[in-house]
Structure 1
């Protein structure tokens, strides 16, 4: 997975952390959790606030 795989990342985070409210998670932790995903393989420096916001929004959608 790469940073642009927003939906796939959100699904993995939802499955890995089912009891976490993504709205309560800060972007520093969110970034670390994405980097820790086993299938994630992208440059850690290519993330930014907009990407993290998109991942957070997609994760919230997974909750519904």
Structure 2
């Protein structure tokens, strides 16, 4: 990943971006260096928004 350009676009420090990406990888137990994993996460996010899941229902599981 090109952290320098992305951090400039997000108006945050490069190390902050690196830390946040590492935290996401750690929490989700994924490697965002793999394109297929980024695609799967993007699709999951889009499906979540498309079907407008009730968060209270998800919390019960």
- TM-score, scaled relative to structure 2: 0.34
Bigger helix share? 2
Of structures 1 and 2, the larger Rg is shown by 2
TM-score, L = length of structure 1: 0.33
Could you say which structure has the greater relative contact order, defined with CA pairs below 8 angstroms and 6 or more residues apart?
1
